[in-house]
Structure 1
Amino acid sequence: MTSFAELTSPQVADLLAGPRTPVLLLPVGAVEPHGPHAPLGTDELISAGMCARAAERLATDPGLRVLVLPALNYGVTHMSAGFSGAVSIGADTLRCLVLDVCRSLKDSGLHRIVVVNNHFEPAHVTALRSAVAEAEVAHLDLLRRANVARLTAEFRSGSCHAGQYETSLVLADRPELVDRDVMRELPAVHVDMPALMSASGGRADFAGLGMDRAYCGSPASASAAEGESTFDTLTDLLVELIREVGRG
């Protein structure tokens, strides 16, 4: 069992008293368009997939008990305004929500928490960084240079919203959610999102960036094999951080 929400209250008490150090993983994502081919919940799906794999990999670790918390599915998605299916919350709402969840867990004695996010809109990332700093919990920040360097060429290019990188991950985890007929027909769209968002002061939206179908990168090149390989790397990154957190 890797899901925190599936435990009973006495089992949580046993967890606190047990010989293995509990580490809780909080997956974070968003509900926003990912092209005409991939699901709105792509970001949360990736975060949850990483967490499940890390918990499974560490299931028999004698010193750690890793559990996955219920995911936070909503995020700051102002950039997708105007597209059907976009559901955005305010940056301060996200910050307060993450902060309150982490503080509540810490108040109950569960101090080791890792926030895992795969939605990279600047206002969303800033809110998360603020929350984890205030809550004093760990954060696997995939935009840090050392982490970016270990991911795929498309991710490093910054042209990766619903492209080859993200679509491959969904194909590896929930292939039935990808419209492959549409995916195969999509032309590559190169948009250096980080550079353009920086130049606009963070005020850009998908349409303004040239993403008139809410994707960039090369979704037609996606494959489940690449997704599994990328999940392996993402899980490596997460397990490394979990071990660090477990050591205190």
Structure 2
Amino acid sequence: MTTVHRDEIQWERMLPAEFRAAMDKKPVIFLPLGTVEWHGEHNALGLDSLKAHELCVQAVHRLGGGVVHPPVYGGMGGLDKPATVIMEGEHAWENHLLRPWLETLCYEFHRIGFKAIIMVTGHYGHNQQIVVRETAVRMSERLGIPVFGSPEYWLALDEGYLGDHAGIGETSLLWHLHPELVRMDRIKDDPDYGADDVIKDGSSQALGMRYADCIIERLASLAEQMPSWQEERLYRYIRSERAIVAAQTRGWRHIGPWEFWRHIGGSAFVQYGQLLVDGEFEAIEQLARTLGREEG
């Protein structure tokens, strides 16, 4: 019997027998997304994809099956800083690169035989988040299998992680997942992130572990469930995720690009991650609609 080791769950490192064994155990594919972008003097430039990839790898280990696709570097938006690649504009409604790329990958995953797709973006540009979730909804409908697309922090909202850029949350996550890629001693040389001691004093490997454990557990739980979702459950899931996309774009149209996210902290929407793994899709839909009304 084939034993699946760490490297043997990563698609690009697998031999065919290892790929077949992983799919037989659980026909789920994880697709980590990110970009290369300035994340302060204290963090590696590939932070977004690095953390998304490692979270997916650890989720597959916890699941005991499945495959992790190589991380996709290149997304929407990015800071006007050195060593940053901006593939498409943060504030552009149109999308000509990321969405068709993700759709093509989803079609291929389905053709190969995967029964569920989980896309995890570690890059938080508002349009990146919308496009990833919107594409997941569209492909769930098109392919008839569940496709989940979200930034990883949405699975740890109830742990207090609301997303940031090279701040306490992201720095702590990378520090836990790849400790060699965080140099906190260098933050003092950064005029922005090192202007005060908030990030330096607030970040820790222990905090990163807390966030990561929550995210990994929920990713694994989703991956365990999703291949068995029948049509009725899949439709309920699609409705809930579509309601989120609608609320995000409504806030963007009427007020500003970050309007939906501005209401998450302190609201019942922080329960999203637990509601998702519990299959409480109607509750998610209602919470999204409630935030959408607040924005209007």
TM normalised by structure 1 equals: 0.74
Deviation at 1:142, TM superposition (A): 4.3
Deviation at 1:140, TM superposition (A): 4.7
The unaligned stretches of length 5 or more in structure 2 are 1-7, 89-94, 141-145, 230-296
What does the per-residue CA deviation read over 1:95-140, in whole Å, with 9 as the maximum and x for residues that have no partner? 1111111111111222321111121111111221222222224225
CA distance in 1, matches of 2:194, 2:74: 18
Query: Aligned partner of 1:70: which letter?
Result: P
- Contact 1:92–1:127 under 8 Å retained in 2: no
- Contact 1:95–1:128 under 8 Å retained in 2: yes
2:31 maps to 1:26? yes
CA distance in 1, matches of 2:195, 2:102: 28
Determine which of 196, 209, 218 is the counterpart of 2:198: 218
Secondary structure of the 1:27 match is strand
Structure 2 CA distance for partners of 1:148 and 1:51, relative to 1, 3 Å: closer
Which residue of structure 2 lines up, in the alignment, with residue 75 of structure 1? 75
What does the per-residue CA deviation read over 1:165-204, in whole Å, with 9 as the maximum and x for residues that have no partner? 1111111122222222123x489xxxxxxxxxxxxxxxxx
Deviation at 1:13, TM superposition (A): 5.2
The CA RMSD measured in Å over matched residues stands at 2.8
2:235 maps to 1:235? no
Which residue of structure 2 lines up, in the alignment, with residue 44 of structure 1? 49
CA distance in 1, matches of 2:189, 2:66: 39
Identical residues among aligned pairs (%): 24
Which residue of structure 1 lines up, in the alignment, with residue 280 of structure 2? none
Which residue of structure 2 lines up, in the alignment, with residue 111 of structure 1? 115
Deviation at 1:21, TM superposition (A): 3.2
What does the per-residue CA deviation read over 1:79-109, in whole Å, with 9 as the maximum and x for residues that have no partner? x12x101112134201111111111111122
CA distance in 2, matches of 1:215, 1:103: 46
Q: How many residues align?
A: 210
What does the per-residue CA deviation read over 1:206-244, in whole Å, with 9 as the maximum and x for residues that have no partner? xxxxx9559999320211111112110111221121122
Structure 2 CA distance for partners of 1:228 and 1:108, relative to 1, 3 Å: same
Deviation at 1:72, TM superposition (A): 0.7
- Contact 2:34–2:121 under 8 Å retained in 1: yes
Query: Aligned partner of 1:161: which letter?
Result: H
Determine which of 7, 12, 19 is the counterpart of 1:5: 12
- Contact 2:133–2:149 under 8 Å retained in 1: no
TM normalised by structure 2 equals: 0.63
Structure 2 CA distance for partners of 1:212 and 1:92, relative to 1, 3 Å: farther
Structure 2 CA distance for partners of 1:232 and 1:216, relative to 1, 3 Å: farther
